[in-house]
Chain A
Amino acid sequence: MNTTTAADNVAVDADNSTSPLLVVEDIHTSFMVPGGEVKAVRGVSFELNQGKTLGVVGESGSGKTVLARSVMRLNLGNNVITSGSAKFRGSNILDLRPKAMQKLWGNEIAMVFQDPMTALNPLVKVGRQVTEHVRHHLGISKKEARSLAIDLLNEVRIPEPENRLDSYPHELSGGMRQRICIAIALACEPTLLFADEPTTALDVTVQHQILNLLNREQETREMGMVLVTHDLGVVAGRTDETMVMYAGNVVEKSSTKELFEDMQHPYTEALFRSIPKTNERSHTRLTAIAGRPPDLIAPPSGCSFSPRCPYVQQKCREEEPPLIPVNNGSHFSACWFPVGTEENQEAFRKNVAAGLPQTLVIEETLTKSSEKEDGV
């Protein structure tokens, strides 16, 4: 075995601040199941600089969580196959030996999980869970660990931190538990943080607080952060860049600002339409995306969104669109008929005429909203 790879020198480029913190190239992740190979992530690449945030958006089953776990090498089970590379400070995480990986986990790279109800061990007191890895990584004493834990709990705004240390997770509310999870993730002052749907399991009122907390910590600590969510509304105004995933592929990637101003991909548009708008009357029907996410064992040929896309044309069903730059160089999209173009409008009209169900649904809502505007 080759024992002297870069794997042993994790901190090689640690001070090289000009190179990106994380460079992910062509990640493929599959799960071998009795029915075949589930291709959960199919060739994703991205870069993340120190102190920057990347939003990964997509509905359930789009591969966003698997992507985050692949990059962190946390996909458990012996039926997982990951290829590609994920260079953290220059060394490929996917090549690291388990020992070296353990040194990164929780120390340099941390993760906040989706459901704080299940991410904390119900049988272990909060205090130990907050600092056990700090003691392991940094070798501090029990006493130091306790005072660190109190500081951390203060920082994530948990009242009476000292009492909370001796609580068990079930004695805390969901929001409190997620704050604990964030404190755990921050404990070793990591440079890279993955937040995997950190607010999905929480009350709406708490979601906002947790997101603000994450943002504040990310900014003050200058961490790189990957924020995974199914809610386009969550990334708006919170991330520097946004990547929209569908069926294991990136369909659109851009600075978050530009994405909202000039979205190119019909799927991004569909996600945007499904966000409840505050300026609409309450009980306004949301525009759901027709159909279901595709079968990842046998993904549709051509564009994987084609069976649900209101603008779908024959070309979409046959040829897979590549992820290519649009406008300036930093905005990428994978669509033959990008939103806002003449071809797109043409395709829409054709589909309305042909009576394609998913197109008619969109047409109906568009007419309604324009009627409403006319009425006012």
Chain B
Amino acid sequence: MLAARLVRLVATLLAVSFLTFFLVNTLPGDPINALIPPDAQQDQEFVAQLREEYGLNDPFLVRYGSWLGDAINGDLGRSVITDQLVTDEIKHRIPVTAELAVVSIGLALLLAIPLGVTAGYRQGTKIDQSISALAQFLLSIPSFIVGLILIYFLSIRLRWLPATGWTRLTESVTGNIKTVIMPAVSLALTEIAVYTRVVRSDMINTLKETYVLSAKSKGLKDRFILFRHALRPSSLTLTTIVGLNIAGLIGGTVVIEQLFALPGLGKRLLDAIFQRDFIMVQGVTVFMACVYVVINTCVDLFYMVIDPRIRRKS
């Protein structure tokens, strides 16, 4: 069963890499434009030689094949602009992006689970209405606005936190916390809203189950029933969404990374796209796609942790 899953994972990764390669290949613009300055492009002979060197004249499938062969060996090529190894660049930047994703999702879960459980438990009451209104409000402010507000108060007015930049965890723990907190909170607010809503609605459904009534008939405290009986069956939708969120954050925190000037992966990809750095774009995109696929597989596995009945079926 695990083997079948692994085969499927590899197949998906191949398909993803092929599609990415294909899409980057169809992007408008000649890679030559990115490789050499405009004056040098006048030299037809030099251009032709360069095309040959980079294999740009080979058929598409041949190029994909040779790129894939290198990629499997851990070589995603070098940036055509800066000549850095794409893998080095990813290694350098992924800790920033990953930490941001984990911290923001962790914060969001910490707040959203109690909020969602309470709202579902108190369905229809003032408390539920207030929580739902709060979620609605959080959902409607874009994260960069939150970021700007945070910077204004915490950095400019109070001078508690640096407005921009990043201190690595390996350099200084407190420094790291100071730089991660504002971008993480900016991202977390929207997540809180979404998570609260799904936990609430799943909780409402779970609380209608007979086993909740039977837990109540055993004289257990409501809080115990909510968190030890009802929360797990109410967290399947949440798991799916958190999985998508993690993957999404690895790829797409561009706005927040830009706002706080963080050396993250999203920002690097964006720069590469503007510079027509096709090798960098290709490498980073494939990496992100792989993260997506791997995380989704993890989510599938996590369902089994939550629900023993799924374990048996698969």
- The interface of chain A, by Cβ under 8 A from chain B, is 72, 74, 76, 78, 102-107, 110-111, 113, 115, 118-124, 132-133, 136-137, 168, 170-171, 181, 184
**A132's contact among B124, B216, B220, B309, by CB below 8 Å, is which?**
B220
Task: Say yes or no: is B14 at the interface (Cβ < 8 Å to chain A).
Answer: no
Q: Which of B210, B306, B312 contacts A123 (CB 8 A)?
A: B306
Distance from A140 Cβ to chain B, minimum over Cβ atoms (Å): 15
Could you say which residues of chain A place their CB within 8 Å of the CB of B306?
123
Considering the chains assembled together, what is the distance between the CA atoms of A184 and B219 in angstroms? 12
6 CB-based A-B contacts, threshold 8 Å: A78-B124, A104-B219, A113-B214, A121-B233, A122-B233, A133-B219
- Residues from chain B with Cβ under 8 Å of A120 in the complex: 211, 214
| A residues near B52, Cβ cutoff 8 Å | none
Complex contact A168–B308 (CB within 8 A): yes
CA A76 to CA B312, docked complex, whole Å? 33
Minimum-distance CB pairs A-B, first 7 = A105-B219, A106-B218, A133-B218, A106-B219, A118-B210, A121-B211, A168-B308
**Alpha-carbon separation in the docked complex, A74 to B210 (Å):** 11
Check B270 for interface membership: any CB of A closer than 8 A.
Answer: no
| B218 CB contacts on chain A under 8 angstroms | 105-106, 110, 132-133, 136, 184
Task: Tell me, in angstroms, the Cα distance from A118 to B307 when the chains sit together.
Answer: 15
Q: Which residues in B have their C-beta under 8 angstroms from that of A110?
A: 217-218
Chain B contacts of A184 at CB under 8 A? 214, 218
- Contact between A136 and B210 (Cβ–Cβ < 8 Å)? no
Which residues of chain B (186-229) have a CB below 8 Å from chain A? 209-211, 213-221, 224, 228-229
Asked if B232 is an interface residue, CB under 8 A from chain A, the answer is yes
Is A118 within 8 A of B232, CB to CB? Answer: no
Which residue of A78, A137, A170 contacts B219 across the interface (Cβ within 8 Å)? Answer: A137
Among B216, B218, B229, B309, the most chain A Cβ lie within 10 Å of the Cβ of B218
Q: Are B232 and A119 in contact (CB under 8 A)?
A: no
Contact B309 A170 (CB under 8 A): yes
Chain B interface size band reads 20 to 34
Interface of B is mostly: helix
Residue of B nearest to A187 (CB): B218
Given contacts A113-B210, A123-B307, A123-B308, contact A136 B217 (CB under 8 A): no
Assess the B229–A124 pair: CB atoms within 8 A.
Answer: yes
CB contacts (< 8 Å) of A171 on chain B: these are 312
On chain A, the residues within 8 Å of B228 by CB distance are 124, 132
Q: Which residues of chain A are near B216, meaning CB under 8 Å?
A: 74, 76, 105
Contact of A133 among B213, B220, B312 (CB under 8 A): B220
Are A102 and B209 neighbours in the complex by a CB distance under 8 Å?
no
Inter-chain contact B210/A115, CB cutoff 8 Å: yes
Known interface pairs A168-B308, A170-B312; A119-B221 also in contact (CB < 8 Å): no
Q: Which residues of A contact B232 (CB under 8 A)?
A: 123
Contacts of A111 in B (CB 8 A): 214, 217
A136 and B219 contacting across the interface, CB-CB below 8 Å? yes
Contact partner of A121 among B124, B219, B229, CB < 8 A?
B229
In whole Å, how far is B232's beta carbon from the nearest beta carbon of chain A? 5
B126 to A: closest C-beta gap in Å: 13
B233 touches A105 (CB 8 A): no
Instruction: Give chain A residues whose Cβ lies under 8 Å from the Cβ of B224.
Output: 132, 136
Are A119 and B214 touching (Cβ within 8 A)?
yes
Inter-chain contact B210/A168, CB cutoff 8 Å = no
Q: List residues of chain B with CB within 8 A of the CB of A181.
A: 214
The CA of A120 and the CA of B308, in the complex, are separated in Å by 14
Q: Is the CB of A168 within 8 A of B309?
A: yes
Question: Roughly how many angstroms separate A72 CA and B213 CA in the complex, as a whole number?
Answer: 11
CB <8 Å contact, B217 and A106: yes
Q: What is the CB-to-nearest-CB distance from A171 to chain B, in angstroms, rounded to a whole number?
A: 8
Q: Which residues of A contact B124 (CB under 8 A)?
A: 78
Chain B residue numbers with a CB within 8 Å of A102 are 219-221
A105-B218, A111-B214, A120-B211 known, 14 other contacts, Cβ within 8 Å:
A74-B213, A104-B219, A106-B218, A107-B219, A118-B209, A119-B211, A119-B213, A121-B211, A121-B229, A133-B220, A168-B308, A168-B309, A171-B312, A184-B218
Q: Which chain B residues lie closer than 8 Å to A78 at the CB level?
A: 124
A136 to chain B: closest residue by CB: B220
Q: Is the Cβ of B211 less than 8 Å from the Cβ of A122?
A: yes
Q: In whole angstroms, what is the CA distance A105 to B215 when docked?
A: 10
Give the residues in chain B near A105, CB-CB below 8 Å: 216-219
- Max chain B CB contacts within 10 Å: which of A106, A110, A118, A123? A123
Chain B nearest CB, measured from A178 CB (Å): 12
- Residues of the B chain whose Cβ atoms lie less than 8 Å from the Cβ of A133: 218-220
Are B233 and A123 in touch, CB under 8 angstroms? Answer: yes
CB <8 Å contact, A106 and B210: no
| Interface-centre pick from B224, B232, B306, B308 (highest chain A CB count, 10 A) | B308
A106 to B209, CA, bound (A): 18
Q: Are A122 and B307 in contact (CB under 8 A)?
A: yes
A106 CA to B219 CA, complexed, in Å: 5
Expressed in whole angstroms, the Cα–Cα distance for A22 and B106 within the complex equals 51
| A124 to B211 CA separation, bound complex (whole angstroms) | 10
Question: Within the complex, what minimum Cβ distance (angstroms) separates B199 from chain A?
Answer: 16
Tell me, rounded to whole Å, the shortest Cβ–Cβ distance linking B124 to chain A. 7
Query: How many Å lie between the Cα of A133 and that of B217 in the bound state?
Result: 10
Q: Could you say which of B213, B219, B220, B308 contacts A122, with CB atoms under 8 Å apart?
A: B308
Q: Among B213, B214, B232, which residue has the most Cβ atoms of chain A within 10 A?
A: B214
Query: Taking CB as reference atom, which chain B residue is nearest A98?
Result: B222
Residues of A within 8 A of B229 (CB): 121, 124
